[in-house]
Amino acid sequence: MTTITHTTRAVATSSRPGAGAALRHTATLAWRSLVQIKHNPMELIDLSVQPIMFLLLFTYVFGGAIAGSTGDYLQFALPGLVAQNMLFASMTTAVGLNVDITKGVFDRLRSLPISRSAPLAGRIVADTLKQVWAFALFLGLGLVLGFRVHTGIAGVLGALALLLTFALAMSWTAVLAGVTAASMEKVQILMFSLMMPITFTSNAFVATDTMPSWLQKWVEVNPVSHLADAVRGLLGGGPVAPDATVSLLWAAGIVVVFAPLAVRAFRNRT
């Protein structure tokens, strides 16, 4: 056994780590969430399977029936699929957080002299990078299958920015679920049974006017509809501002309601 001498660690003079240190801690913890992909390339496949599968299934199974042609349907449905996938993916934050808390990893991190927000921020940064990957995959595969971007790079970046903004807002609900749920399985069930109906009762996959009128009322309010329409505009051309505005208002509303709840639950649990 090697002998390790215990020298007194320099005592920090300031009572809290500064902004630079907080960024460094966040980067280290984001690395921690991403490095698993390096060992286990299956992680990347896990991350990619749903986008690829949904894109292929929706285009070729429903395309003909819904839009009369798979090409037209792809142009319509890809923005909806992108929005849906983003919502589902934002929930992975909940699962990761829940595992950290129940396994005690969170306690270990909190007993270290690091920025208090870094454990949460690191995870969210990593999950955001995964969102970028999924978006790129959707777009890349979509282009191969015949999806056309009519706006150019600015439109693509605009769509990504809007989606990430919404995903960040949604991550507050993920934090709330991850902190309050007793186990990872419960988080997954809760998230799935919430996200499935919310994403499907929108105009993401079919035009609103094909639905019963009582449902249309909800579909027109549903943020997923506005997000899908805004992405349609940003990628395919057409009006963007009204739907983007409503999406951002929704995002703001979600933050106003869920951020305080999540922070409170977080403080109580940890």
Partner 1 sequence: MGYAIQAEGLAKRYGETRALDGVDLEVPQGRLLGVLGPNGAGKTTVVRILATLVRPDGGRAHVAGFDVVRQAHQVRTLIGLTGQYAAVDETLTGAENLVMIGRLLGLTRAEARRRAGRLLGRFALGEAGGRAAKTYSGGMRRRLDLAASLVGRPQVLFLDEPTTGLDPRSRTELWGVVRGLQDEGVTVLLTTQYLEEADQLANDIVVFDHGKVIASGTPDGLKAAAGGQVLEVRPIEAAHLDLVRRVVADVLDVTPEVSQGQVTAPVRDPAAVPAIVRRLDDLDVLAAELSLRRASLDEVFLALTGHRADVPDEAGEEQNAGAAA
Least Å distance between CB 267 and partner 1? 10
Residues at the site binding partner 1, with contacts judged by CB under 8 A:
1-12, 14-17, 21, 25, 28-29, 31-32, 35-36, 39-40, 103-105, 107-114, 118, 182, 268-270
Q: For 109-137, b where at least 16 C-beta lie within 10 A, e where not — what string?
A: beeeebbeebbbbbbbbbbbebbebbbeb
Least Å distance between CB 264 and partner 1? 12
Task: Report whether 25 contacts 115 (CB < 8 A).
Answer: yes
**Which CB, 31 or 192, lies closer to partner 1?**
31
Q: C-alpha distances in angstroms, 150 versus 130, 229, 236?
A: 25, 15, 5
Dist. CA 134–CA 233, nearest whole Å: 20
**Which CB, 116 or 151, lies closer to partner 1?**
116
Of 155, 149, 93, nearest to 124 (Cα)? 93
**Which CB, 55 or 97, lies closer to partner 1?**
97
Decide: helix, strand or coil at residue 111.
coil
Least Å distance between CB 192 and partner 1? 22
Tokens of 186: 């419960």
**Which CB, 119 or 233, lies closer to partner 1?**
119
- 107: Cα separation from own chain's centroid: 25
**Which CB, 14 or 213, lies closer to partner 1?**
14
Least Å distance between CB 97 and partner 1? 13
Least Å distance between CB 176 and partner 1? 14
Of 262, 231, 255, nearest to 81 (Cα)? 231
Least Å distance between CB 218 and partner 1? 35
* DSSP character string of 157-171: HHHHHHHHHHHHHHH
**Which CB, 30 or 160, lies closer to partner 1?**
30
Provide the 10 A C-beta neighbour count for residue 66.
18
**Which CB, 105 or 195, lies closer to partner 1?**
105
Least Å distance between CB 19 and partner 1? 15
Tokens of 39: 């060992």
Task: Give the largest Cα separation in the chain, rounded.
Answer: 75
**Which CB, 1 or 241, lies closer to partner 1?**
1
Least Å distance between CB 106 and partner 1? 8
Would you state the torsion angle of the CA atoms of residues 117, 84, 78, 256, taken in this order, to the nearest 10 degrees? Answer: -60
